[in-house]
């Protein structure tokens, strides 16, 4: 009598466990799971699976009925996730396995055909590129809105005088509008870096499979086009192992974060009681649990602090990638946490900064008073000596330095010196010199392209609106 064949033993893992006799150790399962992080890729994962299934059907690799079932099932999975009714399972490790397992529950055997001619390696690389591309597309309007906030305030304060500083010491009078326009330029370059990153990442890894491509007659151009990529990645090894697109995103984020941090630091100084250049409302400040009088610029301080997270995220991924041989390694599972955190942090910081710029109230009289101090018009005096008396600039610099020394000893500013005081150092000085020694005249005289003169600020605002908005 012939013995009945024993039923096949269920694998240790329903999606990859055929090679394994037992399941992983508990600690192995814990370190291996990534669903709590990569569940954020669900929309991109399902979009890529839809494009892959449609291509397999067009190529005759999938039967039309199977493809139709898969596409309908994927729509149901997406609806479940977006409605909050999907149950993510840690034992299924990641978003790819969770989606595929649920698809199998919904449509049965055809779900197992979806993974034909692909690997989780090219799947995750594709999903991750799609996610970062979407993050850049969401971030650019926010950065553009920050520029708009800066431009509106710059135009409003094109003639508001404030001290321009070097080494945090009074240097020359500038306009507040001109100062804000500096950040418009920084944010513009940030947007350019993200745009460049988007261009370089826009190659489709799907079809590279595990690392060597596939023997199935797939159409990689079709899946690339369906997913909005410029084309398929040219090398299968590079396609699954490259993460420089994520590193570039983090580098652009870190640079943008440092720009926001510099502006935040200035806001913190400007709102302090020592400066009082601007005031922030209750909307962007907090109080103290013990000191009733306090109004703390916490929003600005948190923007300044979160720049450290952005810089740290870049370092984190560089360190993960630096020692990895080709092609894929599980270390790459650590690529997503810093990217997700950086995207969240930067988006929050950009929105908070735009809010503070729109919220702040400028104390123009305090700014003007500060701009008039610290001998900030000394360069204007030196320029007058060159322009009117024909002195070489080095000699004019020396004469001006002597006059500053006299004024400092007497406790007055340059405009407080008498004509006789000035002629004691340079006899040819006449009374017209006093016309260049006010902060307003100083700022108005800086009419070179890119300068701080109010007329130039108005022109620069309009030019920036055309360039960036």
pLDDT in tens, 368-414: 999 998 899 999 999 999 999 999 999 999 999 999 999 999 999 99
User: Whole-angstrom Cα distance, residue 160 to residue 175?
Assistant: 5
Give the end-to-end CA distance of the chain in Å, rounded to a whole number: 84
Task: Give me the chain's average pLDDT, please.
Answer: 94
CA distance 318 to 348: 24
In the structure encoding, which two tokens stand for residue 326, read together? Answer: 């080709």
CA distances (Å), 147 to each of 161, 278, 383, 390, in order?
Answer: 21, 19, 34, 43
* pLDDT for the residue numbered 32: 84
Residues 138-162, mean pLDDT to the nearest whole number: 98
Q: Given a cut of 90, is residue 50 above it in pLDDT?
A: yes
pLDDT digits (tens, 9 = 90+) for 310-333: 999 999 999 999 999 999 999 999
Grade residue 19 by pLDDT with cuts at 50, 70 and 90: low
Got the DSSP string for 362-425?
A: E-HHHHHHHHHSTTTTHHHHHHHHHHHH---HHHHHHHHHHHHHHHHHHT--GGGS-HHHHHTT
CB 136 within 8 A of CB 200: no
Question: Contact at 8 Å (CB) between 53 and 71?
Answer: yes
pTM of the shown model: 0.92
**CA atoms of 213 and 225, how far apart (whole Å):** 18
Q: What is the per-residue pLDDT for 402?
A: 96
Instruction: Please tell me the distance from the alpha carbon of residue 248 to that of residue 194, in angstroms, as a whole number.
Output: 8
Strand pairing report for 231-232 and 169-175? unpaired
Share of the chain above pLDDT 90, in %: 89
| Residue 278 three-state SS | strand
Q: How far apart, in whole angstroms, are the C-alpha atoms of residue 422 and residue 297?
A: 45
> What mean pLDDT do residues 363-367 have?
97
* DSSP one-letter string for 100-116: HHHHHHHH-GGGGGTTT
> In the prediction, which pLDDT does 10 show?
43
Q: What mean pLDDT comes out for the span 220-230?
A: 98
The upper half-sphere exposure of residue 310, i.e. CA atoms within 13 Å in the direction of its Cβ, equals 28
Q: Strands 231-232, 361-362: parallel, antiparallel or unpaired by DSSP? A: unpaired
Q: Return the pLDDT at 5.
A: 47
Confidence (pLDDT) at 289: 77
Pairing of strands 231-232, 203-204: parallel
The predicted structure's pLDDT at residue 287: 81
CB 209 within 8 A of CB 172: no
Q: What tokens appear for 221 in the block?
A: 């151009």
pLDDT tens by residue, 282-300? 999 888 778 877 789 999 9
* C-alpha–C-alpha distance, residues 134 and 124, integer Å: 15
In whole angstroms, give the CA distance from residue 149 to residue 154: 9
Q: Does 1 score more than 50 pLDDT?
A: no
State the pLDDT at residue 427. Answer: 95
- For the annotated catalytic residues, the residue numbers are 167, 288
Query: DSSP states of 317-371 as a string?
Result: HHHHHTTPPSS--GGGGGGHHHHHHHHHHHHHHHHHHHHHHHH-EE-HHHHHHHH
- What would the mean pLDDT of 341-358 be, rounded to a whole number? 98
The CA–CA distances, whole Å, from 223 to 52, 113, 122, 345 equal 6, 17, 12, 32
Q: Specify the higher pLDDT residue, 224 or 28.
A: 224
């Amino acid at each position: 009598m012939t013995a009945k064949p024993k039923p096949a033993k269920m694998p240790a893992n329903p999606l990859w466990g055929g090679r394994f006799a037992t399941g992983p150790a508990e600690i192995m399962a814990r370190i291996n799971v990534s669903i709590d992080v990569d569940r954020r890729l669900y929309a991109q994962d399902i979009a890529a699976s839809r494009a892959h299934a449609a291509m397999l059907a067009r190529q005759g690799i999938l039967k039309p009925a199977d493809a139709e079932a898969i596409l309908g099932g994927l729509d149901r999975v997406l609806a479940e996730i977006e409605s909050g009714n999907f149950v993510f399972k840690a034992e299924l490790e990641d978003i790819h396995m969770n989606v595929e397992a649920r698809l199998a529950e919904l449509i049965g055997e055809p779900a197992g055909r979806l993974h034909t001619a692909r690997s989780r390696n090219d799947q995750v690389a594709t999903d991750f590129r799609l996610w970062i591309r979407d993050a850049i597309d969401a971030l650019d309007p926010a950065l553009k809105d920050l520029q708009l906030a800066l431009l509106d305030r710059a135009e409003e304060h094109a003639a508001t005088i404030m001290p321009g500083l070097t080494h945090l010491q009074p240097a020359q009078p500038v306009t507040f509008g001109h100062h804000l326009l500096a950040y418009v330029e920084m944010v513009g370059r940030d947007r350019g870096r993200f745009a460049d990153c988007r261009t370089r990442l826009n190659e489709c890894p799907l079809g590279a499979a595990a690392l060597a491509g596939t023997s199935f007659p797939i159409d990689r151009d079709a899946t690339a086009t369906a997913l909005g990529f410029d084309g398929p990645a040219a090398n299968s090894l590079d396609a699954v192992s490259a993460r420089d697109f994520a590193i570039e995103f983090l580098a652009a984020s870190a640079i943008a974060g440092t720009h926001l941090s510099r502006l935040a630091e200035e806001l913190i100084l400007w709102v302090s009681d020592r400066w009082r250049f601007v005031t922030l409302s209750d909307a962007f400040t907090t109080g103290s649990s013990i000191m009733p009088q306090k109004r703390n610029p916490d929003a600005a301080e948190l923007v300044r602090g979160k720049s450290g997270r952005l810089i740290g995220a870049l370092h984190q991924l560089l360190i993960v990638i630096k020692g990895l041989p080709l092609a894929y390694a599980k270390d790459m599972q650590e690529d997503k946490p810093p990217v997700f955190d950086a995207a969240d942090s930067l988006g929050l910081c950009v929105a908070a900064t735009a809010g503070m710029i729109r919220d702040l109230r400028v104390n123009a009289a305090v700014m003007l008073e500060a701009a008039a101090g610290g001998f900030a018009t000394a360069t204007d005096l030196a320029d007058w000596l060159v322009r009117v008396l024909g002195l070489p600039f080095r000699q004019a610099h020396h004469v001006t330095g002597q006059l500053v020394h006299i004024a400092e000893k007497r406790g007055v500013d340059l405009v407080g010196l008498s004509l006789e005081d000035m002629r004691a150092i340079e006899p040819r000085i006449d009374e017209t010199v006093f016309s260049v020694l006010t902060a307003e005249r100083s700022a108005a005289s800086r009419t070179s392209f890119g300068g701080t003169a109010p007329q130039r600020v108005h022109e620069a605002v309009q030019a920036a609106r055309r360039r960036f908005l």
